[in-house]
Structures are given as C-alpha cells and as structure tokens.
C-alpha cells in the first residue's frame, strides 16, 4: 500500500481504511457538480462522537491533471458535534481514507439532534480532608460556629494582566 504521489508506504494501521473507505475527492468525482450541496462525514467522527459531525460542501476545485481526479480543494460549512459554524472553511484532511457520503434520504435523520443542556459549572467544592480538618480546628479554636468549609472556584482578578509590568516600569522609570 503506497501513497499515490510520493510512492511511500502507508502506515500498517491505515491499510484497512484504504481497502474499505474512500478519499473525499474519490467520493465527489462520481457526483454531479462534484457533490456541491451534499453532506460528507468521516468514519472517525461517527465512531467518536454521538452528536452529528459533517461538512456541507459549497465549493470544489478539482485538480484535473491528477489521475482519477482525486486531488484538489473543497470548501464547506462544518457542523461539529451538533454545532454549525457560520463561515465557509476549506476542508482539511481530504486525503484521509475515512470519508463517507451521507445518502440524500438519510440527511434529515443525520441532521436531527436535540442538544443536551450544558451542565451548570461547579462553583464550590469541598476542601481536601487534611486542609478541611485544619480549617475546622481553627474555627473551633476561635470559637466561631462550625460550618462546612467550601473552596470557591471562581477566579477573582484583583490586578489586570499587565499590572505588575506597569508597576515595574514605574519603579525603574522610562528610558530616555
């Protein structure tokens, strides 16, 4: 198994995909207008994510000098993990052997996805056991009521990003 242009050997792990899957332009070359308006996805996305991941092809530039017209560039709208992007981007990794064309009759089912609500971020967590014991001992020693100490995870910025840099410059003075 070799690469078409360079003639170098493909990795052994890629051989199975080369036998069973296609490159993007191999799929698009057999369709009218090179598949503009069609949906393509990758086998690796189907195996990894539950949410739909696909490209909607908007523009294709084929290298007509290549054998079998299986080289070129393609652009489209990416929908990754159910979140569509608004701008057209060039499709990367078109030479990988894991592209699949989504059949027309399955496109609507493939697009259907009800996003799961993002869980609310955790604001407070309990202290580690030893630190918790130390804080409770301090509260008991001070005679304050014992309440479960919680660690606040929200980051409070008291100084700007460049506060210390400005302070150092003010201390040193400006170069003349």
Let me know: does 70 contact 94? Beta carbons within 8 Å: no
Q: N- to C-terminal Cα distance for the chain?
A: 66
pLDDT at 16 over 90: no
pLDDT at 5 over 70: no
pLDDT bracket for residue 139 (50, 70, 90) = very high
The confidence score (pLDDT) of residue 13 equals 77
% the chain with pLDDT above 70? 94
Cα dihedral sign, 16-9-31-51: positive
The confidence score (pLDDT) of residue 4 equals 66
105: tokens are 């009759």
Give the mean pLDDT of 122-151: 93
Q: Who has greater pLDDT, 154 or 77? A: 77
Q: Return the closest-CA partner of residue 42 out of 52, 29, 34, 33.
A: 52
Average per-residue pLDDT for the chain = 85
% the chain with pLDDT above 90? 30
Rg (CA), the chain: 28
The confidence score (pLDDT) of residue 134 equals 95
Q: Who has greater pLDDT, 129 or 20? A: 129
Sequence ranges of the domains in the chain: 12-111, 124-172
The confidence score (pLDDT) of residue 129 equals 95
pLDDT digits (tens, 9 = 90+) for 41-97: 998 888 898 888 999 999 998 888 777 777 889 999 999 988 889 999 999 988 888
pLDDT bracket for residue 27 (50, 70, 90) = confident
With vertex at residue 34, the alpha carbon angle to CA 16 and CA 54, rounded to the nearest 5 degrees, is 60
The confidence score (pLDDT) of residue 12 equals 82
- Predicted TM-score of the model (pTM): 0.60
pLDDT bracket for residue 172 (50, 70, 90) = confident
């Amino acid at each position: 198994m070799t690469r078409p242009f360079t003639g170098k050997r493909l990795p052994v792990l890629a051989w199975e995909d080369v036998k069973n899957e296609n490159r993007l332009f191999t799929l698009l070359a057999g369709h009218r207008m090179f598949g503009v308006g069609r949906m393509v996805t990758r086998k690796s996305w189907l195996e990894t994510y539950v949410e739909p991941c696909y490209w909607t092809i908007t523009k294709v530039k084929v290298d007509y000098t290549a054998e079998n017209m299986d080289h070129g560039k393609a652009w489209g709208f990416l929908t990754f993990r159910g979140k569509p992007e608004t701008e057209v981007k060039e499709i990367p990794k078109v030479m990988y052997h894991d592209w699949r064309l989504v059949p027309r009759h399955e496109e609507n089912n493939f697009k259907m996805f009800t996003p799961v609500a993002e869980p609310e971020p955790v604001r407070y967590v309990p202290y580690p056991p030893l630190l918790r014991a130390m804080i409770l001992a301090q509260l008991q020693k001070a005679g304050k009521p014992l309440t479960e100490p919680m660690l606040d995870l929200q980051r409070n910025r008291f100084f700007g990003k460049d506060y210390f840099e400005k302070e150092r410059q003010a201390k040193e003075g400006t170069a003349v």
